[in-house]
Structure 1
Amino acid sequence: MSKKTILTSAVTGAGDTTKKSPYVPVTPEEIAKSAIDAAKAGATIAHIHVRDPKTGGISHDPALFREVVARIRESETDVIINLTSGGGGDWIPSEEDPTVGGPGTDMQTPEERHEPIGELLPEICTLDCGSVNFGDQLYVSTTDWLRRQAKLIQQSGVKPELECFDTGHLRFANQLIKEGLIDGDPMFQFCLGIPWGADADAETMLYMRDRLPKNAHWSAFGIGRMQLPVAVQSLLLGGNMRVGLEDNLYLDKGVMATNAQLVEKAVTAMSSLGVAPMTPAEARVHLGLKNPS
């Protein structure tokens, strides 16, 4: 096989999925092990959130990120670490007073979102490039906040993965590039099929791909049953691939998956098209990443 592509495993996410599947990792030990298992199955990159070990719910605790990263780096399995920096953006207006956040609201400043990135210096971190109606809540990431956060990421030397949940996010990501806030060849992730963002279909993917800078690297993911179709469509259109329990819990209809199994399924699909996953070492060169600390 001469053609290679980057395969990301998004191992846990922040959604309310731990009650739906026993395979969603929760503790730092479980998250690190799942990332390592995914890497052994063929994943190039592990995209990582952390969870409250007691509740399984969302957490932004730098100590939890610290433990996950340490466990991965101390293992004998190489994988590129991609930490989320999109936490703390959930806004649900209070029924009594819509000017304040109600139950479920979880907000952080750009500096707070960046804290684990600045401390741990992963090779990649996400940058969610705009606000969006995310299901029944609003995800808040204003343009001024994004400029501040992009500058912090730039100063840290970490490569941002520009996450675009809608077409306007892509427009603003390109604006960040024009303003000199993104170094090197930019890296985009199209986040498709999430209510109420961009659709998970080929037309939307083509629209977004055709508006990228010529030197951009890109990938796309879909959620639920659209995970593998979107990943394969991304590959066919010249992009990279992402799978994982953050986006989809099932291997087949009614069959719960592990992250490693989802990676294996993606690798099989890639192989049928004459493509293999890049190794982390190959991807570091391809993306112009710094070596892990």
Structure 2
Amino acid sequence: MALQPSRDVFITCAVTGAGDTTGRSDKVPVTPRQIADACIEAAQAGAAVVHIHVRNPETGGPARAPALYAEAVGYIKDSGVDMVLNLTAGMGGDLTLGSVEQPLPPSGSGTDMAGASERLDHVRQILPEICTIDCGTMNFGEGDYIMTNTPAMLKEMARQVQALGVRPEIEAFDTGHVLLAKWLKDQGLIDDPVMIQLCMGIPWGAPDDIATLMAMTANLPDDWVFSAFSIGRNQLPYAAMAVLAGGNIRVGLEDNIWLGKGVLATNGQLVERAATIATAMGSRLLGPAEVREKLKLQKRW
């Protein structure tokens, strides 16, 4: 198969996520102000898209309160720095079973199950250009936590996102998730151009080896726009992998807190490194306006 690297590439920066990384790096943003500043830093370093989770400002733990999103986005808008806003809609699908002997009732610690409309409250209020839909259910870690997204839930979330005029970014953590995304498209619930993120190397999803990435990209329709990333130390090598595979790049502290061995990164540094990799490979970085045109996004601000 002939190599078809991307010649025009955009970078997404996932600035904080919901994982337990705040105790391992003081550079992971927590408050709405810190999250906004991280987005601004990433945009100024070359990211066209910023992917936003929010956290409890007091504990640093995961949160999904619309007021926290509104505060962070307000700071971004006030800055005047242009970027495409991509808000997660993954929160609210978290199930932690009680134990291996008594799985029910679920554990109150780590379980946050919400309906489709509630999971999209912040999207409905803010109307970002993009929001994510985690396209599948899978195990995470070594305990009893399950990321839970049933086909019925995904259909309803996709329907509501489509009605809002927001572009969904499908998050595919395994090969079957790509098939689910195709099924949602066949239902008429995702408009063109379809945008999909290949999330590699997350236990127990698709491994981040070259063969698995190529298998996933080979199953994508030619007119879909995809990005790919891996977690941890393979995040920056995957910037090159994504370009070589014909896709776009995602980096950020959601997926990796290191710039190099023993060196903690900022979001801006990760974006700068990814930009250097892409441009050294002969690719041109797309800015926010070009990404809006490519993805037919509706700018709201």
| Structure 1 residue 108, shift from structure 2 partner | 1.6
Partner of 2:90: 86
- What stretches of structure 2 of length at least 5 have no aligned partner? 1-5
* 2:282 counterpart letter in structure 1: G
Structure 2 CA distance for aligned equivalents of residues 68 and 12 of structure 1: 12
More displaced 10-residue stretch of structure 1: 39-48 or 196-205: 196-205
Give the Cα–Cα distance (whole angstroms) in 2 for the partners of residues 218 and 42 of structure 1. 18
Count of aligned pairs: 292
| TM-score, structure 2 as length reference | 0.95
Instruction: Tell me the SS of whatever aligns to 1:180.
Output: coil
Paired residues of 1:267 and 1:276 also in contact (CA < 8 A):
no
1:98 aligns with 2:103: yes
In structure 2, what residue type is equivalent to 1:192?
Answer: M
Q: Find the counterpart in structure 1 of residue 3 from structure 2.
A: none
Q: Shift of the alpha carbon at 1:3?
A: 3.1
Superimposed CA distance per residue, residues 2-41 of structure 1 (whole angstroms, 9 cap, x where no aligned partner) = 9320100000000000000000000000000000000000
Alignment partners' CA distance in 2, 1:209 and 1:258: 29
Cα distance in 1, alignment partners of residues 205 and 296 from structure 2: 30
Task: Show CA shifts across 1:171-204 (max 9, x none).
Answer: 0000000010001110000000011000012111
* Distance in 2 (alpha carbons) for counterparts of 1:97 and 1:119: 39
Q: What SS class does the counterpart of residue 120 from structure 2 fall into?
A: helix
* Equivalent in the alignment of 2:46: 42
Structure 1 unaligned residues grouped into runs of 5+: none
Letter aligned with residue 93 of structure 1: L
Instruction: Decide which of 128, 142, 148 is 1:140's aligned counterpart.
Output: 148
Per-residue CA deviations over 1:191-243 (Å, capped at 9, x if unaligned) read 00011000012111111111112210001110000101122101111000000
2:277 and 2:222 map into 1 onto residues whose CA distance is 27
Give the partner amino acid of 1:100.
P
The code of the aligned residue for 2:103 comes to P
Aligned mates of 2:53, 2:285 — CA distance in 1:
23
Tell me how far apart the structure 2 counterparts of residues 22 and 175 of structure 1 sit (CA, whole Å).
41
Deviations 1:90-109 (A, max 9, x none): 21111374122112212121
- Residue 62 (structure 1) aligns with: 66
> What is residue 290 of structure 2 aligned with on the other side?
282
Q: 1:33 pairs with 24, 34, 37, which one?
A: 37
Q: Distance in 2 between matches of 1:10 and 1:277?
A: 17
Supply the AA of the counterpart residue of 2:173.
Answer: F
Calculate the TM-score normalised by the size of structure 1: 0.97
Please tell me the root mean square deviation across aligned C-alpha atoms, in Å.
Answer: 1.1
| Distance in 2 (alpha carbons) for counterparts of 1:251 and 1:276 | 23
CA distance in 2, matches of 1:277, 1:201: 25
Please name the residue that 1:21 is paired with: 25
Q: Secondary structure at the match of 1:198?
A: coil
Equivalent residue, structure 2, for 1:127: 133
Instruction: Out of 69-78 and 114-123, give the one that drifted further.
Output: 69-78
Identity %: 49
